[in-house]
């Protein structure tokens, strides 16, 4: 199971890095063309924007798994260890419900936009909006993979498989 999880995380990381690299190359080429030939690629800004959208949604699960999202820990720090576990369990359940709802909403957006096309690339907006259900589905998988250590000890998994305490989490 751990090997499958490492492969999953690695593929997710490669996808985010690939999107960032593509975005960088497109924007860099456009800037170079603009200043050397006085012409720019008419589709570069649009492509970079959609790559950034996809990068954001695909990278959100990686940030979640490493504790990279904003956390307010005042209540968590104040309550007992048992109550902290219950609070973390409630947070996980709430996030799973929210992420599931957002997969549904994203799918609805994607279906509604299937006949619209982007101005420059002439792609169906379905492919742009697909980032939302795909990204939230990945968030669900990442959350399920880290839920047990997070609930029991407030630990986040790092990319190398190590764990680290959540901000404000007590040891144990």
Task: Convert the pLDDT of each residue in 37-79 to its tens digit.
Answer: 999 999 999 999 999 999 999 999 999 998 888 888 888 888 8
Facing residues of 156 across strands? 164
Domain contains 171: no
At residue 171, the pLDDT reads 46
What CA–CA distance (Å, rounded) separates 25 from 48? 9
Domain contains 172: no
Domain contains 55: yes
Domain contains 157: yes
Task: Convert the pLDDT of each residue in 70-121 to its tens digit.
Answer: 888 888 888 888 898 999 999 999 999 999 999 999 999 999 999 999 999 9
Domain contains 170: no
Residues 6+ apart with CB under 8 A from 40: 30, 33, 34
Q: Which two tokens stand for residue 148?
A: 């047990």
Q: Is the pLDDT of residue 3 over 90?
A: yes
Q: Which two tokens stand for residue 49?
A: 């924007």
Task: Convert the pLDDT of each residue in 136-163 to its tens digit.
Answer: 999 999 999 999 988 988 766 665 556 6
Domain contains 137: yes
* Cβ(58)–Cβ(131) below 8 Å: yes
What CA–CA distance (Å, rounded) separates 94 from 86? 12
Task: Convert the pLDDT of each residue in 119-135 to its tens digit.
Answer: 999 999 999 999 999 99
At residue 158, the pLDDT reads 60
CA dist 145 → 4, 6, 27, 54, 138 (Å): 11, 11, 35, 22, 11
Domain contains 54: yes
Counted domains in the chain: 1
At residue 168, the pLDDT reads 52
Q: Which domain holds residue 139?
A: 2-165
What CA–CA distance (Å, rounded) separates 60 from 128? 16
């Amino acid at each position: 199971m751990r090997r499958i999880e490492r492969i999953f995380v690695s593929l997710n990381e490669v996808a985010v890095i690939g999107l960032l690299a593509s975005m960088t190359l497109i924007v860099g080429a456009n800037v170079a063309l603009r200043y050397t030939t006085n012409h720019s690629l008419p589709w570069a800004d649009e492509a970079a924007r959609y790559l950034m959208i996809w990068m954001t949604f695909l990278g959100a699960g990686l940030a979640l798994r490493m504790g990279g999202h904003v956390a307010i820990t005042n209540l968590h720090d104040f309550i007992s260890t048992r109550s902290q576990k219950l609070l973390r369990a409630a947070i996980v359940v709430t996030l799973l419900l929210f992420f599931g709802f957002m997969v549904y909403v994203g799918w609805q957006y994607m279906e509604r936009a299937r006949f619209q096309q982007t101005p420059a690339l002439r792609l169906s907006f379905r492919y742009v909006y697909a980032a939302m259900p795909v990204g939230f589905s990945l968030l669900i998988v990442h959350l399920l993979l880290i839920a047990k250590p997070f609930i029991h000890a407030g630990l986040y998994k790092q990319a190398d498989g190590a764990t680290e305490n959540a901000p404000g989490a007590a040891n144990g």
